[in-house]
Amino acid sequence: MQELSEGPTTLLPAFIEQRWDDYTAEQHEVWGLLYDRRMKQLVTDGSRVFLDGAKVIGLRHDQVPNLADVNARLSRMTGWNAVPVAGFLPAREFFQCLSMRRFPTTITVRTREQMDYLPEPDIFHDVFGHVPLHSDPAFADFLQRYGKIACAARDDEDVVRMTRLFWFTVEFGLVREDGRTKVYGSGLISSHGDAANALGPKCERRPFSLDAVFNQHFEIDHLQDVLFVVDSFEQLFAAVREAEERVTLC
């Protein structure tokens, strides 16, 4: 397994530099349209942890995030950094980055024609969808512990189980807050259609348990028909500690 350095900008050859000044006016405008459209729903249906996190890391509706500015705020709170990548990393390298509180972040901006659907992540999914949660200490600890376990999982069956845990929490997680079910997973935060489905009548919302998640199959190419609701992010940390005891590690 390739070793990662401790520095925030020299992790892997796959990591690149974000040339923020190269973003065009059109790209900033697309970001703003996406931001405003999602926030209209998320003010009501988004986890307060996401909403607070978006503020404290300095996300703005009028410009694509500058990761240097985001990280200056984020690292002081939880030690996490969003680090730019040119594309997908192999799974174990991705998980290893998580174990070091480094979140691989795509820095491209979707086109105006792709605003409603994009098959691969872009900076809106990665930074708007994921990074605000990294400012929360409980979620930050959960994600780092998850990365350590996932990159050390030895058996194929355990890799599948850990993938399901990521999918039903980090990507498509729901949380109970203020007597309501709200969205926090990045796939829900960044997508109006997925979030509306998650809170609508066609999605079965089940209480979160590690066994239930480990045994729940999912498909990535359609709206989800089963999702899981946690009572708090402390529950996620307890679940990942339990997973560490049950997964065969290298």
Q: Residue 85 falls within a domain, yes or no?
A: yes
Residue 10 within a domain: no
Report how many domains make up the chain: 1
CB < 8 Å & 24+ apart, contacts of 207-216: 208/168, 208/169, 208/235, 208/239, 209/239, 210/165, 210/239, 210/242, 210/243, 210/246, 213/164, 213/165, 213/168, 213/169, 213/239, 214/161, 214/164, 214/165, 216/164, 216/168
Mean pLDDT over all residues of the chain?
92
Whether residue 201 is contained in a domain is answered as yes
- Residue range 88-99, pLDDT digits in tens: 888 889 999 999
The reply to whether 125 belongs to the active site is: yes
Is residue 3's pLDDT more than 90? Answer: no
pLDDT confidence of 250, banded at 50, 70, 90? low
Of these residues, 47, 93, 99, 125, which one is catalytic?
125
Residue 9 within a domain = no
Share of the chain above pLDDT 90, in %: 83
Among 47, 99, 186, 190, the active-site one is 190
67 assigned to some structural domain? yes
Q: Determine, yes or no, domain membership for 161.
A: yes
Full-prediction pTM beyond 0.85?
Answer: yes
The 10s digit of each residue's pLDDT in 204-238 is 999 999 999 999 999 988 899 999 999 999 999 99
Among 47, 93, 171, 191, the active-site one is 171
Residue 141 has pLDDT above 70, yes or no: yes
Q: What's the CATH number where 25 sits?
A: 1.10.800.10
Nearest alpha-carbon partner for 80 in 128, 141, 122: 141
Q: Is 204 labeled as catalytic in the residue annotation?
A: no
171 is catalytic: yes
What confidence category does residue 115 fall into, taking pLDDT thresholds of 50, 70 and 90? confident
Select which of 130, 134, 135, 191 is catalytic. 130
Poorest-confidence range of 12-16, 105-109, 173-177, 228-232? 12-16
pLDDT per position as a tens digit, 124-140: 999 999 999 999 999 99
2 located within any domain? no
Q: Is residue 98 part of a domain?
A: yes
What residues make up the domain containing 217?
20-246
